[in-house]
Amino acid sequence: MTKGVSLFGRWNAAPSSQAFRAFASQENYFASDIQTSTLGSNQIFSSKIVNDLRFNFSNNDGAFEFRGLAADGAVSPPDSLIFPSFVDRNNTAVSIQLSTQNNAANVSSANLTQGKTVKTRQRQFQIVDTLSVVAGNHQLKFGADYRRLLPRFDSRSISISYVFATPASRASGVPTSVSVQGFAPNPGFRVENLSLFGQDTWRVDRRLTLTYGLRWEYNPPLSGERLPFSAVGLENPLAATLAPAGAKQWNTDYKNFAPRVGIAYTLSEKQTAVVRAGFGVYYDLGTGTALHGFNSFPYSSSRTLTGSQIRFPANEIDLQPQPFLDTTSPPYSSSFVFFDPNLKLPYTLQWKVSFEKGFGKNQTVTVSYVGAQGRKLLRAEQLRNYNAAFVRDRFGLNTGALITVNPAVFGPTPAQFASTTPAFADFSPQAGTRIES
């Protein structure tokens, strides 16, 4: 644009799809459409001050469908037979299953699912700005990295499932079970992350270079119009209650500082032998686990037909999904996914030591040792039938589960009430050589 300012951009589109036959009369269809756009600018203020600014927008649409196929003269049943009149085919799935699996006889079950299954959309906005300053033997870098993810889960509104035990029961229209599920629309939510960093590369002398820096990570819990419910007083499950709607899954930690340091020392300039070592702390976002619970209480409902209701096709009045649970009226017949309100994000300690030796002009041999150790790794604690009073009066759980992530502050849990997977540290050293010529 001008003498000291330049612009650049890049756009990429990568649609793809695949389909394969899962059953004789059905195929599974997958589709993905990935588009990325990057716009950047370099600003040269002087020979010692340069700024680099980049903006990225990415969009990833995914879809998964079950599709019926005509096979050996058989055709798919008409929509009027399997879809109730009160539903929209584009927002409903109906599954007809024949449980005839016999591994010894090499016979599999049969399944036919029609209608909508699931679609997903992931959008990302990211801005990264880095300012570089040269001051004597120091090369300083300061910057910020902001990212916002806008995932959206577009599921069906109603799911109906018929299960038959034998081909004869299917022919007579008498299933062994009929179930109906309802799913509330997902308005979407936000995942945000902000990083601030500073770094100094100091050339101490001709042989020694020292690089050190600090990165601060701000990783709040999910935010949006509809969040999974949290609990109050989870350290004492017998007295726990639901938190108000919209309460954050955990409290934001503002102390996620990640130091990093590296050193390079030239043993012999004549023989081009260099020793390098580095150590750093790297935080995980922790938001992958936080996505659990978006289709649980109170945003889904289920019912199983009984007695004379079990027929194919079932009466439309019996296929009406259960209303969603009222959060103000316990007990609740549902499973829950809760988080430790004092959740600490996991992080990894990484270190590396290498020796590099040159041979001639175009040959280099490098021997490296790399190690990593995970800390505060997320874990799940599952509580089943913790106490009759808790089950009946608080949440109405008969066989449901209460799950918390990283519940280190809750203390030990009685073995007869819970199965706990302890947090662990993973140590994975690596060694290898590299020869370049």
Q: What is the pLDDT along the chain (437 residues), one digit of tens a residue?
A: 677 899 999 999 999 999 888 777 788 889 999 999 999 999 999 999 999 999 999 999 998 888 877 777 777 788 888 899 999 888 899 988 887 666 665 666 777 888 888 888 899 999 999 999 999 999 999 999 999 999 888 888 899 999 998 888 888 888 989 999 888 877 678 889 999 999 999 999 989 999 999 999 999 988 887 777 788 887 777 777 888 877 888 889 999 999 999 999 999 877 688 999 999 999 988 777 777 666 666 777 888 898 888 888 899 999 988 877 666 666 665 667 778 888 888 899 999 999 998 887 778 889 999 999 999 888 777 665 555 454 445 444 443 344 444 433 333 333 222 222 333 344 444 444 455 54
Peptide bond into 331 cis (omega under 30): yes
Asked if residue 278 is part of any domain, the answer here is yes
Question: Residue 185, preceding bond cis, omega within 30 degrees?
Answer: no
Q: Is residue 21 assigned to a domain?
A: no
Provide the domain count of the chain. Answer: 1
In this predicted structure, what is the pLDDT of residue 143? 97
Quick check: is 194 in a domain? no
How many other CB atoms are found less than 10 A from the CB of residue 126?
Answer: 16
Q: Which of the 8 DSSP states describes residue 271?
A: T
Residues spanned by the domain of 406: 199-297+332-437
Is 372 a domain residue? yes
Q: Is residue 384 part of a domain?
A: yes
pTM score, two decimals? 0.75
| Residue 58, domain member (yes or no) | no
Beta bridge partners of 160: 94, 180
Q: What is the pLDDT of residue 324?
A: 76
Q: Which two tokens stand for residue 264?
A: 């390079």
> Phi/psi of residue 19, each to 5°?
-145, 140
**R_g over Cα of the chain:** 29
* Burial (CB count <10 Å: 0-12, 13-18, 19+), residue 319: buried
Residue 215: Cβ-neighbour burial (10 angstroms; 0-12, 13-18, 19+): buried
Q: Flag whether 90 is in a domain.
A: no
Write down the pLDDT at residue 60. 94
| Cα distance between the two ends of the chain | 40
Q: Which amino acid is at 348?
A: T
Is the separation of the CB atoms in 287 and 222 below 8 Å? Answer: yes
User: What pLDDT is attached to residue 22?
Assistant: 73
Question: Which helix (H) or strand (E) segment is 168 a member of?
Answer: helix 167-172
In this prediction, residue 437 carries a pLDDT of: 47
Residue 13 belongs to a domain: no
What's at 260, amino acid-wise? R
Q: Which of 364, 350, 391, 188 is nearest to 272 (CA)?
A: 364
pLDDT of residue 410: 32
Name every residue whose Cβ is closer than 8 Å to that of residue 321 and which is 6 or more positions away in sequence. Answer: 158, 180, 181, 182, 301, 302, 303
- Chain centroid to CA 364: how far? 41
**Cβ atoms of residues 215 and 197 within 8 Å:** yes
